[in-house]
Amino acid sequence: MIQLDCVTKSFGTTRALDGLSLAVRPGEIFGLLGPNGAGKTTTIRLLNGLFPPDSGSLSVFGMDPQKQGSEIRARAGILTETPALYERLSAEENLLFFGNICGISQQKLVQCVFEVLDLFGLEARAKERLAGFSKGMKQRVALARALLHDPELLFLDEPTSSLDPESALQVNDLIRTISRDGGRTIFLCTHNLLEAQRLCDRVAVLDAGKILASGTPAELAAALFPGVRVEIDMEAPAPVNLAEKLAVCQGLRSIQWEGGTALMDLADHADIPGMVATLVSAGARITRVEPRPVSLEEIYFQLRKNHGGHT
């Protein structure tokens, strides 16, 4: 669906993209993660044909954005970092206006606008001026605009960055609905790791224009944190010299404490029963044992640490 091979792009002396390669598969929600200035927006702009790369190649639907930009735009929608909408027009008028620019026929457009307003829960306030809308509502109108021509592919650049947690959750739900119901492919740029964790099938971590790693969050976790991390709650006080007693425990790599919870890094799931048995024989009164999935946040910071980035 999207392919970039060894793409570089500089602005003056700033190298925004430095040999970027990635592929996005049909139907997936792909997250491009990275700190401010990593090159996320530059990637979206290149894919939308705003400017050519300095070197390397890229394609969307197998087409070159520089040569077949209008064909790509007919099949793709985009939500930019700062979507421009007309404050003095109502939500409905904004959508009708932008739909007209897209070249959607008048009869079809009225139906499309009705459908997206309904999908986005905006029908009750469709006739009000945008000036009176909250940021979250404006963002929903902007997302609705990107969807008007029923695109197969949607580029979303930081869709929730200026929203409060509740509006951000609503927009996340909409993104999931848009992806699931339409079988659409979504290319999402974000520095919100929780958002990426909630939404993305696969992610790539971008830093200073280079991909540090890509894959499903589970694949990245397995590569960076082999083994299993288990959370164990036990009644206070914990047995004395617990660490010494656990030293004989097979597969145990490290123990850390988070308040009253012990975090044990083990080589394998199969090492869990032996570790629990050792704890019990040491006198621990265990109230909970739970393997903890590695979060995208841990993956992200570990990757940046491995590559000498700031954490």
Ligand X SMILES: Nc1ncnc2c1ncn2[C@@H]1O[C@H](COP(=O)(O)OP(=O)(O)OP(=O)(O)O)[C@@H](O)[C@H]1O
34: partner contacted, choices ligand X, Mg ion, none (Cβ within 5-8 A by kind)? ligand X
Using CB under 5 A, list all residues that contact Mg ion.
40-41
List 31, 34, 99, 151, residue binding ligand X (CB under 6 A):
34
Stretch that binds ligand X, among 10-18, 119-127, 244-252, 276-284 (CB under 6 A): 10-18
Residue 176 or 191: which CB sits closer to ligand X? 191
Is-contact 132 164, C-beta < 8 A? no
- What are the C-alpha distances in Å from 178 to residues 51, 119, 156? 28, 9, 12
**Binding status of residue 304 toward ligand X by CB under 6 A:** no
Tell me which amino acid residue 243 is: A
Q: How far apart are CA 39 and CA 4, in angstroms?
A: 13
CB of 206 to ligand X, least distance (A): 7
Residue 3 or 161: which CB sits closer to Mg ion? 161
Residue 40 or 229: which CB sits closer to Mg ion? 40
11: partner contacted, choices ligand X, Mg ion, none (Cβ within 5-8 A by kind)? ligand X
Residue with token string 């939404």? 199
CB of 11 to ligand X, least distance (A): 3
38: partner contacted, choices ligand X, Mg ion, none (Cβ within 5-8 A by kind)? ligand X
226: partner contacted, choices Mg ion, ligand X, none (Cβ within 5-8 A by kind)? none
Residue 42 or 170: which CB sits closer to Mg ion? 42
Stretch that binds ligand X, among 11-19, 108-116, 172-180, 222-230 (CB under 6 A): 11-19
**Binding status of residue 151 toward ligand X by CB under 6 A:** no
**Binding status of residue 257 toward ligand X by CB under 6 A:** no
Q: How far apart are CA 79 and CA 114, in angstroms?
A: 20
Binders of ligand X among 180-199, rule CB under 6 A? 191
Neighbours of 12 (CB within 10 A): 5
Handedness of CA 215, 219, 221, 226 (dihedral sign): negative
CB of 3 to Mg ion, least distance (A): 21
**Binding status of residue 48 toward ligand X by CB under 6 A:** no
**Binding status of residue 129 toward ligand X by CB under 6 A:** no
206: β partners: 211
Give 75's contacts (C-beta < 8 A, 6+ positions apart): 61, 151, 152, 153
CB of 40 to Mg ion, least distance (A): 5
37: partner contacted, choices Mg ion, ligand X, none (Cβ within 5-8 A by kind)? ligand X
Length of the chain: 311
Handedness of CA 45, 50, 54, 55 (dihedral sign): positive
Query: In degrees rounded to 5, what are phi and psi of residue 87?
Result: -65, -30
Residue with token string 């617990």? 242
- In the chain, the N- to C-terminal Cα span, in Å, equals 33
Residue with token string 């099938």? 201
Exposure class string for 240-273: b at 16+ Cβ within 10 A, else e: eebeebbeebebbeeeeeeeeebebbbeeeebbe
Stretch that binds ligand X, among 30-38, 125-133, 142-150, 239-247 (CB under 6 A): 30-38
Q: How far apart are CA 29 and CA 175, in angstroms?
A: 9
Interface with ligand X (CB under 6 A): 11, 14, 16, 34, 36-42, 191
